[in-house]
Chains A and B, each alone.
Chain A
């Protein structure tokens, strides 16, 4: 018999429009519509036809974007709200780590609050007395337990809430993004506690944005999207699908953002040298100045227009993209056109990190290609074999200019791409690398969670 069973569950929240907000008691009484006005103007489906079955002893992960219905799902299982249609069946005692320390009264001591909270969660007074020391020890609050809760830091508050809830000894534990509680040490303790729960054959329903935790910890997972279950099953597969979808959305978002940035700029005369030098001075540039305009970290487009970059597309391994993975190939494709023949020209590309650091910049002149002629429409391709950047959002400059720097068409930070990485390494550039060890240096299996 499954511990949790959701059968074609839908939950519709009513949303009251303007009309309802002004309908106070007076108008309700005047128009005699008290009952009618309690009905919604419009409704919002938080969950749509979701079916989930969690076997006893399993750890089940729920992932999805904000507002996708994860918390609603948890509340339904906890019995806080009822489904609009469908059925929710739960077998066993449930403890919900949804709002830690809900019901703590700020004026009274931690000790008294433990009792109140414990009884609220369904323990008897005796059970709490028996577990009291354990609770306090787990929360690491031995010294403060008799102080009023209002004097606690938010971390202490959460720890106490967590300690009580976890000691309820439920058959089913509902967890909503509570591992952000406390410091690293406490998080580890919470994880240990979850592992212990799992060992003892308890059921865990875990709502989290920590995808690695879902992969490592859960036996099964569901990805909710706008209230519907998109994928359900093996956590690795579910997480992968979710991540792919997140990237696609980001891609669209970045594309829209770039399109907007490219619409606004007007063709300007080449930047005023005076302004440029002023700007570089205010930036406190040292002697070894890069070209002054590098410091004007402002999107825009300028140049004489003798040669124009009509269109720039970024391509990943699978076609046009804005989201790349570290190590992916990246192709920058520029459509250029010159109305009249030009013989002095150079093409340039630079990549900037979000805080304005130039990660890499080059042009054809630097690379000692001497221009000969350009006329009509053409294509320039800058192909990067491996994009070895760490995770982050990067901006791109592309330009065509005279070899002395006079701009034909300069696109300043108009293109955005995002690099994703599974490792959270620091810096900007990731050199390809390997670690080597002699036999006496050993590591645990990569799947063990203590290395995290």
Chain B
């Protein structure tokens, strides 16, 4: 496995060019071209802002500290898009590139990585817009807090990559995963504190024997919740970054996920050629 990990590093030129290919090919032929990388998150933001401020203005939400809502929403939405697109791309990447796997000597393990990376590039392109919003609404960023930002990115990357590898290798054998995944991701989106703040969940559900309420326990099991909260605390909320303990725990968990994903991928590697 270590040998294969080194391979992953050795193939960085290939990874780089494949990511570039993905990005170039994605908007080829469209009028706005690369601008879609900026326009897409904006439109998504517009849709959600519209739904949750005009169509369903929830009283609880209004009470919570989520103003301005569009900025709050953006802090969670942008990383979510990276996360969710990476997983759905990752799940089908091996099947789509069957030709490479079957006919060429190709380091297969870089394919899920390319999915995660090219979605990360989109995420990075979205960041200037997010910072623009922050600036526009006069939300000041503390340099001390921003130090955490790359770590959050890194944790999200490793976790997503781990999950993508699991999905990629299993989807080769069970094509059902692709269909299932789309719905699981929708559920996951609503179960994460993206469109609502974590504080809404804190007090929810019965608590028994001195344990915290069910809502909070469940939320703490959701790795993306911690990522979303981290982004929100760093970028949106004032005050020190209080979620760092969870983030570090998630770093460990994410690495474990990656190791598990890589192990599974490695075990099933030889079957890809025959099953894809």
Chain A positions 132-163 with a Cβ under 8 Å from a chain B Cβ: 148
Contact A80 B103 (CB under 8 A): yes
Contact B176 A80 (CB under 8 A): no
Contact A80 B104 (CB under 8 A): yes
Q: When A and B form their complex, what is the total count of cross-chain residue pairs whose Cβ atoms lie within 8 Å?
A: 76
Chain A positions 70-112 with a Cβ under 8 Å from a chain B Cβ: 75, 78-82, 94, 96, 98-99, 102-103, 105, 107-108, 112
Contact A80 B273 (CB under 8 A): yes
- 1/0 contact trace for B33-64 toward A, CB 8 Å? 00000000000000000000000000000000
Task: Answer yes or no: A13 CB below 8 A from chain B CBs.
Answer: yes
Q: B268 contacts which chain A residues (CB < 8 A)? A: 38
Contact B21 A25 (CB under 8 A): no
Contact B25 A102 (CB under 8 A): no
Q: B100 contacts which chain A residues (CB < 8 A)? A: 102-103, 120
Contact A103 B104 (CB under 8 A): yes
Task: Answer yes or no: A24 CB below 8 A from chain B CBs.
Answer: yes
Contact B176 A26 (CB under 8 A): yes
Task: Answer yes or no: A28 CB below 8 A from chain B CBs.
Answer: yes
Task: Answer yes or no: B140 CB below 8 A from chain A CBs.
Answer: no
Q: B274 contacts which chain A residues (CB < 8 A)? A: 13-14, 81
- 1/0 contact trace for A56-82 toward B, CB 8 Å? 000000000000000000010011111
Q: A25-B177, A28-B174, A105-B21 are in contact. Are A120 and B103 (CB under 8 A)?
A: no
Contact B24 A78 (CB under 8 A): no
Contact B28 A102 (CB under 8 A): no
Task: Answer yes or no: B14 CB below 8 A from chain A CBs.
Answer: yes
Contact B13 A25 (CB under 8 A): no
Rounded to whole angstroms, the CA-CA distance of A416 and B25 in the bound complex is 56
Rounded to whole angstroms, the CA-CA distance of A436 and B14 in the bound complex is 61
Q: Nearest chain-A residue to B13 (Cβ)?
A: A119
Contact A102 B104 (CB under 8 A): yes
Q: A82-B270, A115-B17 are in contact. Are A108 and B99 (CB under 8 A)?
A: no
Contact B105 A94 (CB under 8 A): yes
Contact B270 A116 (CB under 8 A): no
Task: Answer yes or no: B220 CB below 8 A from chain A CBs.
Answer: no
Contact A78 B13 (CB under 8 A): no
Task: Answer yes or no: B239 CB below 8 A from chain A CBs.
Answer: no
Rounded to whole angstroms, the CA-CA distance of A36 and B173 in the bound complex is 12
Among candidates B21, B104, B173, residue contacting A108 with C-beta atoms closer than 8 Å: B21
- 1/0 contact trace for B105-119 toward A, CB 8 Å? 110000000000000
Q: A26-B176, A78-B105, A80-B105 are in contact. Are A116 and B21 (CB under 8 A)?
A: yes
Task: Answer yes or no: A124 CB below 8 A from chain B CBs.
Answer: yes
Task: Answer yes or no: A125 CB below 8 A from chain B CBs.
Answer: yes
- 1/0 contact trace for B13-27 toward A, CB 8 Å? 110011001001100
Distance in Å from the Cβ of A89 to the closest Cβ of chain B?
Answer: 15
Q: Nearest chain-A residue to B102 (Cβ)?
A: A80
Distance in Å from the Cβ of A158 to the closest Cβ of chain B?
Answer: 13
Q: B176 contacts which chain A residues (CB < 8 A)? A: 24-26
Q: Nearest chain-A residue to B99 (Cβ)?
A: A102
Q: Nearest chain-A residue to B176 (Cβ)?
A: A25
Contact A38 B271 (CB under 8 A): yes
Rounded to whole angstroms, the CA-CA distance of A13 and B102 in the bound complex is 14
Distance in Å from the Cβ of A313 to the closest Cβ of chain B?
Answer: 47
Rounded to whole angstroms, the CA-CA distance of A119 and B15 in the bound complex is 10
Contact B14 A108 (CB under 8 A): no
Contact A98 B103 (CB under 8 A): yes
Rounded to whole angstroms, the CA-CA distance of A395 and B76 in the bound complex is 78
Q: A81 contacts which chain B residues (CB < 8 A)? A: 270, 273-274
Chain B positions 156-178 with a Cβ under 8 Å from a chain A Cβ: 173-177
Q: A99 contacts which chain B residues (CB < 8 A)? A: 99, 102-104
Q: A94 contacts which chain B residues (CB < 8 A)? A: 105
Distance in Å from the Cβ of B269 to the closest Cβ of chain A?
Answer: 9
Contact A148 B174 (CB under 8 A): no
Q: A25 contacts which chain B residues (CB < 8 A)? A: 174, 176-177, 180
